């Protein structure tokens, strides 16, 4: 079983609020990722990190930011939530570029 | 053109039959390939990975890779209703990114 954890699992929040989705892994993986996935749809990469103090934007502009101050922790922040941010957010990590990615259980976000 | 392409399905297969899932990729420099299963509302979980041309078998699952044709497939033998899920193909591209297909929805009919 993968040692990667996301909190909260479910979140309902009002428009304009600032939120942080947490992701932690205990596997010592350098590479971490945030994906957005709507029901029945494909994964969209929104941010990734290849190590401490390294962050990059993915293909989807989600108006979010990330930080990587510690290897095990990769939080995602939405400064001002909008209904269009309603989705499932999945965090993943992997050891290197040719190994499997492990996923957290996801955070289902609803912005009302 | 998407970098990793899968037929979205749904692919309907009778219980006990072989399910065949296909994936093509555009980056000829892609090196490693992954098949993930995702149940509705859940996170993806790894089924198999393959790096070399040919077949790789693990229980009821066989992954096939043909780099010349830029084609990866997953065969599921003796399909069970519990195999009903969306199957995601991913390729590690030449710039070391993990590129995901949109997934194929598989339905196993009892």
**Is B43 in Cβ contact with A106 (below 8 Å)?**
yes
Beta-bridge partners for B74: B21, B63
Task: Say which of A33, A41, A105 has its CB closest to residue B43.
Answer: A105
Q: Is the separation of the CB atoms in A7 and A19 below 8 Å? A: no
Average pLDDT for chain B: 95
Report chain B residues whose CB lies below 8 A from the CB of A40: 40, 86, 105
Cα–Cα dist B10/B49, whole Å: 23
Whole-number pLDDT of residue A25: 97
Q: Give B2 or B83, the one with higher predicted confidence.
A: B83
Q: How many CA atoms lie within 13 A of B4 on its CB side?
A: 28
Per-residue pLDDT tens over the stretch B21-60: 999 999 999 999 999 999 999 999 999 999 999 999 999 9
Whole-number pLDDT of residue A1: 60
Whole-number pLDDT of residue A60: 80
| Residue A85: strand, helix, or coil | helix
Check CB contact of B44 with chain A, cutoff 8 Å: yes
**Is A98 in Cβ contact with B88 (below 8 Å)?**
no
Whole-number pLDDT of residue B96: 87
> In order along chain A (112 residues), what is the average pLDDT of each group of 10 residues?
90 97 97 94 93 92 90 97 96 93 97 97
State the SS3 of chain B.
Answer: CCCEECCCCCEEEECCCCEEEEEEECCCCCCEEEEEEECCCCCCEEEEEECCCEEEEECCEEEEEECCCCEEEEEECCCCHHHCEEEEEEEECCCCCEEECCCEEEEEEC
């Amino acid at each position: 079983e993968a040692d990667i954890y996301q909190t909260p699992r479910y979140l309902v929040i009002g428009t304009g609020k600032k939120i942080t989705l947490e992701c932690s892994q205990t596997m010592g993986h350098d590479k971490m990722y945030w994906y957005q996935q709507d029901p029945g749809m494909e994964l969209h990469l929104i941010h990734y990190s290849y190590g401490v103090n390294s962050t990059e934007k993915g293909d989807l502009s989600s108006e979010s930011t990330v930080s990587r101050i510690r290897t095990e922790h990769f939080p995602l922040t939405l400064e001002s939530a909008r209904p269009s941010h309603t989705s499932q957010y999945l965090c993943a990590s992997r050891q290197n570029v040719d190994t499997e990615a492990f996923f957290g259980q996801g955070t289902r976000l609803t912005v009302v | 053109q998407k970098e990793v392409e899968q037929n979205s399905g749904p692919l309907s297969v009778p219980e006990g039959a072989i399910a065949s899932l296909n994936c093509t990729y555009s980056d000829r420099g892609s090196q490693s390939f992954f098949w993930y299963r995702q149940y509705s509302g859940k996170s993806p979980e790894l089924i198999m990975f393959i790096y070399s041309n040919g077949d790789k078998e693990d229980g009821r699952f066989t992954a096939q890779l043909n780099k010349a044709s830029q084609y990866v497939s997953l065969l599921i033998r003796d399909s069970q209703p519990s195999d009903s899920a969306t199957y995601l193909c991913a390729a590690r591209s030449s710039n070391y990114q993990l590129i995901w297909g949109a997934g194929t929805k598989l339905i196993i009919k009892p």
